[in-house]
Amino acid sequence: MSETAQSGRPALSSPHNPSQNHLLAALPVAEFERLAENLELVPLPLGEILYEPNGRLQYAYFPTTAIVSLHYVMESGASAETAGVGNEGVVGIALFMGGDTTPSSAVVHTAGHAYRLAGRLLKLEFNRAGLMQQSMLLYTQALIAQISQTAACNRHHAVEQQLCRWLLLTLDRLHSNDLVMTQELVASMLGVRREGVTEAAGNLQRAGCISYRRGHIAVLDRAGLESRTCECYAAARKEISALSAGRDYSVSHGHPTSQN
C-alpha cells in the first residue's frame, strides 16, 4: 500500500521539496514516507560550515539547491576540495559507514537549501537493509571515485583545466550560469595559490568563456570550457550518470511530492 498525503509533507506548490534531491527522490514510497516527516528544510548560506574536521556528525544533509564542498584541511590551514556534493548526493556518509566522524570539513560553496535528517534516523533506515542502504552505498562508491579522481587531477592537470572542470561540475548542479564565487574561494577549493586562479580565470575571460567581476563568475561559453577542461570532467559526469542509472527503483515509481 502506498498511502499518500500525510501531515508534515510540503504542499505540492512549495518551491521546496525533498524530491529535488535525487537520493531522496529515488527512494521507494514506503521508505520515503518513513523519513519524510523527519526531514527538515534548512537554508545553507555561503560559507556555512556543516562540520569541522574530526567533529561528531549530528545530521546528514541532502542538498536540493545548495552545493557543499568537502575539504581536507592541513595543519597549516591550507585546504583543498576533495569532492563536491549537490542534489545528487548526501553530506555525512560517515554516519552510516560507522565512523561518526570524518577528517574532512564540509563547507557550503553555493548558497541554497538542503533537507537535514538526524544521524540516528539515517542509521536506523540504513540498517533496515532496504533500497535506501543500496542507494547510499552506490553513492558512497561514486563519492570515492570522485575523491580519487580529484587527487589525480590536482597532481597532473593544469590549473586552467581544473578550473574548467570545477566550473562545469558546479554549473551542472545549478539552474543558472552565474556563480557567486570569489577567486580566493576557488583557490581554496582547488588547493592552489590565488595567483594561479587569477591567471587561469584571466585566460578564460580573454577567450570569452567566462566573465568575471568581483564575487561573480558568469559562464558565457560552456562549450569553450568543455573544450579546455581535462578528461576528468567527462569521467565525473559518467560517474554521476551511472549513479542515476543504478537506481532502477527510481522516481518513476513516484512519491506524491515528486510530482508537479
Closest to 116 (Cα-Cα) out of 184, 61, 69, 75: 61
Q: How far is the CB of 230 from Zn ion (least distance, A)?
A: 3
Show the cell assigned to 153.
587531477
Q: For cell 553555493, name the residue.
A: 110
- Total of residues contacting Zn ion (CB under 5 A): 4
Site for Zn ion in 120-179 (CB under 5 A): 153, 157
Residues with Cβ within 8 Å of 112's Cβ and at least 6 positions away in sequence, in order, are: 43, 44, 63, 64, 65, 66, 67
Closest to Zn ion by CB, 145 vs 232, is: 232
Task: Give the three-state DSSP class for 173.
Answer: coil
Q: How far is the CB of 196 from Zn ion (least distance, A)?
A: 15
Alpha helices in the chain (DSSP H): 22-25, 29-36, 94-97, 119-126, 131-156, 159-172, 183-190, 194-206, 222-228, 231-245
What gap in Å lies between CA 69 and CA 27, rounded to an integer? Answer: 24
Q: How far is the CB of 235 from Zn ion (least distance, A)?
A: 8
Q: How far is the CB of 48 from Zn ion (least distance, A)?
A: 28
Site for Zn ion in 224-243 (CB under 5 A): 230, 232
Closest to Zn ion by CB, 149 vs 257, is: 149
Closest to Zn ion by CB, 46 vs 235, is: 235
Closest to Zn ion by CB, 137 vs 230, is: 230
Q: How far is the CB of 150 from Zn ion (least distance, A)?
A: 8
Site for Zn ion in 188-227 (CB under 5 A): none
Residues with Cβ within 8 Å of 178's Cβ and at least 6 positions away in sequence, in order, are: 216, 217, 218, 219
| Phi, psi angles (nearest 5°) of residue 63 | -65, 145
Number of neighbours of residue 234 by Cβ within 10 angstroms: 13
Q: How far is the CB of 161 from Zn ion (least distance, A)?
A: 6
Task: Give the three-state DSSP class for 86.
Answer: coil
Closest to Zn ion by CB, 162 vs 183, is: 162
Q: How far is the CB of 168 from Zn ion (least distance, A)?
A: 11
SS (H, E, C) 31-58: HHHHHHCCCEEEEECCCCEEECCCCECC
Number of neighbours of residue 31 by Cβ within 10 angstroms: 20
Closest to Zn ion by CB, 79 vs 149, is: 149
Closest to Zn ion by CB, 180 vs 234, is: 234
Residues of this chain that interact with Zn ion (CB under 5 A) are: 153, 157, 230, 232
